Structure 1
Amino acid sequence: MYYSDDVINEVLSRNDIVDVIGSYASLKKKGANYEACCPFHHEKTPSFKVNREKQMYHCFGCGVGGNVFTFVMEYENLNFPEAVERLAERAGVQLPEKSMNAQERSREQYKITLREMNKTAAAYFHYILKHSQHGEKAYEYFHETRGLSDETINKFALGYSDIYRDDLYRYLKSKGYTDDQMKGSGLVEISEKEGGVDKFWNRAMIPILDINGKVIAFGGRVMGDGKPKYINTSDTAVFDKSHTLFAMNIARRSRRKGFICCEGYMDVISMHQAGFDNAVASLGTAFTFGHAGIIKRYADEVYLAYDSDGAGVEATKKVIAILREVGVGARVINMRPYKDPDEFIQNLGSEAFEERIKKAESGMMFLARIYSEEYDQSDPGELTKFQNQIARELAYIEDDLERNNYVDAIARKYVIDKDALAAKVHAYGVAGTAKPEIVERETRRLQEQQGYEEFPGDQSAGAPGRPETKDNKTAKLLLTWLVNRPELFARLDGVVSEADFEPGIYRTVADKLYSQYREKHKVEPAVVVNTFQDVEEQRLVAGMLQTDLAIDMTEEEVGNAITEVVKKIKLASIKKQLESENDMMKVQQLIKDRKKIEKFKVIL
């Protein structure tokens, strides 16, 4: 961690969470909380709550939650130190120098240099497009062929790389960049024979921005008949194609529901111009788990607008499988008779495309339709293959009700015996024990690259990524009661302590809460969240610390509920100690403690 706890707590205390979140979302006071429609997912009824006393937020719709650092990290897609810096600047807090070693400082400075170089190149390409005679053909391509307005051209900073193969090299050299830096940026290739040679020349240029709006790479479309038609910057220290979605810096702020995933950046630009500012695209590579992980941070549903040709259909099938694997729903937009969104909108307009979005097919029904077209339904053998393929896909649906509904719908539509189909689905294994080959292959590739992890972090009890046991749920309940009723610390003194919690996230939270109460006779939930720098862990902790359990309960009922929770935790702790304890005197004491706790009762 770059900054000390004292510095972090100072920044936290100087940034009231209601004021900070209020600058992003329209909060309204309601009882002890402030509420709004969640800025992280589409909803009509507010389920996003902000508590000034706890300095915490939580959405009861999509599950996001945390303190002011968590919010800035999620909304601005920053890491923890960057969020500290952003909020320190907002509050006028002077931060000490980052405690980085020489290697870390060098690596960070190198990334800064690459981003500055890309920004410089983007400005240069845009200037050539707008003010050079050579740029006229690229401007004509954007304006006439693709139908883009000057406003859109400026918004996406579109440009042109000149006809000379060392034009950008010479320009960047004049700005003080070294050969090694230019080579590292992916913009220039350096060789002993030819010197500096631009990767992009005589191409219409599309800057690629990261999620925070920094230029990190480029896509280039050749002017004329050259090959390849499109090229992108190779992976660099600041650009990873498998974890970058074009226009996500804009789309993540869209008020439209979900995202629209396209195949190429020109489709995305055209869609943004038509008002669909939630459109994104992968870049020069297949859709990956890395892309799915980014999407999952902001939406639980995706509309797929891939090309309607054979390759586009295969790509759509793959994306559905990957999104399903990480828990994101997919719907498919039918663009026939046109090939892609750009062609569709240019011919039928944005209103017609809006209608296609409303009528988008669920991923499951799309797969059923595509497989029905791939297999000859009049041939018994082909029909059997079709039904088996459908059963394998249906077996992947975890929710019983949803799975049964799809079994019923598909059986009716394709005249399949419903009971036979249901039996086959069960045979393949509920919840996808028989994974399609594409997901198995992608999963292996993902593990090899150590890319996207759905639930990063600690794998101990109570950590994200592990099934929540009954013991963990009990621990979470008691921690929630302690935050809601700090007076319980005194009443439970000598009965249950932080040592009785299983090691893991809940134990860490218990340690912090008990320590706070001993020192200050109060708890500060927002400070506890700072213990965890992983967003998923912060969400988990925020969820338990933000929940109010006492709604519609009498004091007697609350006392009984707390009593039950305390007994479960203490008895589980004693049982575990008895299993490993060899000292007879300690064993006898544990037995006495067990008898004592069985008679324990909380009276409020």
Structure 2
Amino acid sequence: MRYSDEIIEEVRSRNDIVDVVGQYVHLQKKGANYFGLCPFHNEKSGSFSVSGHKQMYYCFGCGAGGNVITFLMKYDNLTFTEAVKQLADRAGIKLPDEDDSPAAKAMRDKRQILLDINKEAAKYYYYQLRGRNGQKGMEYFRGRKLTDETMQHFGLGYSNITSDDLVKHLKSLGYEDSQIIDAGLASYDEKYGTHDKFWNRVMFPIQDASQKVIGFGGRVLGDGKPKYLNSPETLIFDKSRNLFGLNYAKNSRAGYMIICEGYMDVIAMHQAGFTMAVASLGTAFTTGQAMILKRYTDEVILSYDSDEAGTKAALRGIGILKEAGLKGKVLDLRPHKDPDEFIKNEGKEAFEERIRNAESTFFFEVRVMESHRNLADPEDKTEFYRDIARKLCEFEEPLERENYTEAVAARYNIAIADLKGLVASYAGRAGMVTPARRPESGIQSKKKPEDGARKNQRLLLTWLTDEPDIYPKVAAWVTPDDFSDDLYRKVATEVFTGMANGNFSPAAILDHFTEEEQYGQVAEMFNTNLVDIETKDQRRKAFRDIILGVKQAGYDRQKKELKPDDPDYLNKTIQGKKALEKLAHANISPDD
């Protein structure tokens, strides 16, 4: 649902961005703004700026920017509506219902009931683990070297050996059998009636990205089957579109995610400080899960068991990452089976070293191909080289293909000319272009002329935002049509209209855009400040130069867009030139 502009403005105005961002980022006041370490990229010096006056944030390092709503959207991976709802709850604002129809209301109510039941179950399991009946569960977790802090952090619990404890507890809270079954926590049969789905298991609550409990995983204590049992698909739980540990990993800001197989791997890694780890939920890694990861990172390291099953899972995962457009690497855990075992035996520093040396997916696949060949046999060795050549042909970009060709030739001591010839042969059969040539050295990219034009426009918009009193002086010479492209003209129109009407809000302008990249571009327009302006004369000269630069860019764009056969071509060209000449000789200042 898209709320009205009035409601959105009320929500935003009742949530000061400095207060909200300050809950996530340590901010220090410097001048008119607040600064801290950017939560959206790794940095050592704070380039993340928050302006209470503009109600906007902007990072001078990575270019992320926006208002209080877009901050929550990016930080917690929320939709616009979800962010508005969260801020409305924070400010005590009642939002209109999304859909007042009885069916829609019933569905929302049912969903909320299932979330409430799962929350109560998580609390029940949590306290059972720490009570008299949970001794077996506690012994298991202690044996896995988990600390009390880690167990609390992940809300770990225990389900009693009796088969109806949870059902009785939830019914005592007023929930019906059908609701408990719909939540995936109970089953029904004629012999036992409604009974617990989980019993005699240590319990792992599964939370979504918003920290809501949506399901559970349970590991049996003893020899029962199955070893691991997961909640079934429900209205609130879709295994293929959720990841265990994502609610914490999304805030790691490591620049990459590590995906592994099991709950304990994730928990052990987080306990050791590797908070970027997640796991699929009792199913194979899916495209849906890859697309979720893509919201937070562009690089994923696969950390599967080092046995044959783990190798197959990694090979399958590589294909899924490629399909999702994610860069992938593979963690080599040998001689240990999984991350938990590796960390316990080798320690944190050794695990960090393995991460730094994580294998490219290409070389991992080549290594797997090598394991299926006997390189002491000339025929097998030749076939292995052919396998490599065919694998190299999967690189569509010629330059990337050539780089990997050189690297693999060096690694396996293959004559580079022979391997290139083999690759070219297979590439030719597949209809691919010939291998790439190296670009000539000494060629440097030139800065486009419009870069300077856009900077002048950003400087003017920032100046207007910081000092609204100069608007009449700016409007006397510049209009939104003088801005050089569609995005800048749209923002300038909003600024000029708002200032003319006396209701300008830079934070409100961002609500008219939907793409994350646009948030950063628009925020930059209000955060491009002049430097080295110390005297009144310098200020006057800068103001005149910026106005002239914006006007010149508008004139240049108009000339490009006008066609010579346009009846107004000559008239508009002459008028534009006269306006520029008049401006060039005018004595304008922001202070007069």
Using the size of structure 1 for normalisation, the TM-score is 0.77
Q: CA deviation at 1:335?
A: 1.1
Pick one of 457, 478, 492 that aligns with 1:492: 478
Give the equivalent residue in structure 1 for 2:500.
518
Given that residues 16 and 52 in structure 2 are in contact (C-alpha distance below 8 angstroms), is that contact kept between their aligned partners in structure 1? Answer: yes
Given that residues 323 and 329 in structure 1 are in contact (C-alpha distance below 8 angstroms), is that contact kept between their aligned partners in structure 2? Answer: yes
Structure 2 CA distance for partners of 1:507 and 1:184, relative to 1, 3 Å: farther
| Partner Cα separation in structure 2 for residue 63 and residue 287 of structure 1 | 32
Q: Which moved more, 1:18-27 or 1:231-240?
A: 18-27
Pick one of 540, 545, 562 that aligns with 2:550: 562
Pick one of 130, 147, 150 that aligns with 1:149: 147
Pick one of 204, 228, 231 that aligns with 2:202: 204
Letter in 1 for 2:275: D
Hey, which bits of structure 1, 4+ residues long, moved more than 6 A? Answer: 422-429, 470-479, 549-554
| Partner Cα separation in structure 1 for residue 283 and residue 450 of structure 2 | 41
Given that residues 462 and 528 in structure 2 are in contact (C-alpha distance below 8 angstroms), is that contact kept between their aligned partners in structure 1? Answer: yes
SS of the residue 2:199 aligns to: coil
Q: Are 2:573 and 1:588 equivalent residues in the alignment?
A: no
| Partner Cα separation in structure 2 for residue 331 and residue 235 of structure 1 | 30
Give the equivalent residue in structure 2 for 1:46.
46
Given that residues 41 and 298 in structure 1 are in contact (C-alpha distance below 8 angstroms), is that contact kept between their aligned partners in structure 2? Answer: no
Deviations 1:447-494 (A, max 9, x none): xxxxxxxxxxxxxxxxxxxxxxx999999778746523545554234x
Q: CA deviation at 1:183?
A: 2.9
| Partner Cα separation in structure 2 for residue 61 and residue 589 of structure 1 | 45
| Partner Cα separation in structure 1 for residue 330 and residue 579 of structure 2 | 58
Q: Are 2:116 and 1:113 equivalent residues in the alignment?
A: no
Letter in 2 for 1:512: E
Given that residues 478 and 566 in structure 1 are in contact (C-alpha distance below 8 angstroms), is that contact kept between their aligned partners in structure 2? Answer: no
Gaps of 5+ in 2: 433-447, 465-470, 534-540
Give the equivalent residue in structure 2 for 1:290.
288
Q: How does 1:144-223 map to 2 (within 5 A)?
A: 144=143, 146-190=144-188, 195-223=193-221
Q: CA deviation at 1:550?
A: 6.2
Structure 2 CA distance for partners of 1:381 and 1:94, relative to 1, 3 Å: closer
Structure 2 CA distance for partners of 1:29 and 1:293, relative to 1, 3 Å: farther
| Partner Cα separation in structure 2 for residue 366 and residue 539 of structure 1 | 38
Q: CA deviation at 1:529?
A: 0.8
Pick one of 246, 270, 273 that aligns with 1:248: 246
Q: Are 2:447 and 1:483 equivalent residues in the alignment?
A: no
| Partner Cα separation in structure 2 for residue 422 and residue 44 of structure 1 | 43
Structure 2 CA distance for partners of 1:260 and 1:569, relative to 1, 3 Å: same
| Partner Cα separation in structure 2 for residue 116 and residue 157 of structure 1 | 16
Q: CA deviation at 1:340?
A: 0.3
Letter in 2 for 1:381: E
| Partner Cα separation in structure 2 for residue 275 and residue 374 of structure 1 | 36
Pick one of 511, 524, 528 that aligns with 2:509: 528
Structure 2 CA distance for partners of 1:384 and 1:425, relative to 1, 3 Å: closer
Give the equivalent residue in structure 2 for 1:67.
67
Give the equivalent residue in structure 2 for 1:355.
353
| Partner Cα separation in structure 1 for residue 401 and residue 30 of structure 2 | 39
Q: CA deviation at 1:109?
A: 2.3
Structure 2 CA distance for partners of 1:369 and 1:594, relative to 1, 3 Å: farther
Deviations 1:347-391 (A, max 9, x none): 233333233233333444434433443455543233112222134
Give the equivalent residue in structure 1 for 2:12.
12
Given that residues 392 and 401 in structure 2 are in contact (C-alpha distance below 8 angstroms), is that contact kept between their aligned partners in structure 1? Answer: no
Given that residues 2 and 100 in structure 1 are in contact (C-alpha distance below 8 angstroms), is that contact kept between their aligned partners in structure 2? Answer: no
Given that residues 260 and 279 in structure 1 are in contact (C-alpha distance below 8 angstroms), is that contact kept between their aligned partners in structure 2? Answer: yes
Identity of counterpart residues, as a percentage?
A: 43
SS of the residue 1:50 aligns to: strand
Deviations 1:303-324 (A, max 9, x none): 3321112222232234344445
Given that residues 186 and 199 in structure 1 are in contact (C-alpha distance below 8 angstroms), is that contact kept between their aligned partners in structure 2? Answer: yes
Q: How does 1:131-142 map to 2 (within 5 A)?
A: 131-133=131-133, 135-142=134-141
Given that residues 292 and 322 in structure 1 are in contact (C-alpha distance below 8 angstroms), is that contact kept between their aligned partners in structure 2? Answer: yes
Structure 2 CA distance for partners of 1:277 and 1:334, relative to 1, 3 Å: same
CA RMSD, aligned part only?
A: 4.0
Q: CA deviation at 1:518?
A: 3.4
Give the equivalent residue in structure 1 for 2:525.
545
Q: CA deviation at 1:341?
A: 0.9
| Partner Cα separation in structure 1 for residue 405 and residue 265 of structure 2 | 35
| Partner Cα separation in structure 2 for residue 323 and residue 518 of structure 1 | 50
Given that residues 475 and 506 in structure 1 are in contact (C-alpha distance below 8 angstroms), is that contact kept between their aligned partners in structure 2? Answer: no
Deviations 1:191-228 (A, max 9, x none): 57764243323332211111222211001222333333
Structure 2 CA distance for partners of 1:563 and 1:363, relative to 1, 3 Å: farther
SS of the residue 1:224 aligns to: coil
- From the CA coordinates, give the structure whose radius of gyration is larger: 2
| Partner Cα separation in structure 2 for residue 492 and residue 365 of structure 1 | 58
| Partner Cα separation in structure 2 for residue 93 and residue 123 of structure 1 | 26
Given that residues 169 and 196 in structure 1 are in contact (C-alpha distance below 8 angstroms), is that contact kept between their aligned partners in structure 2? Answer: yes
SS of the residue 1:207 aligns to: strand
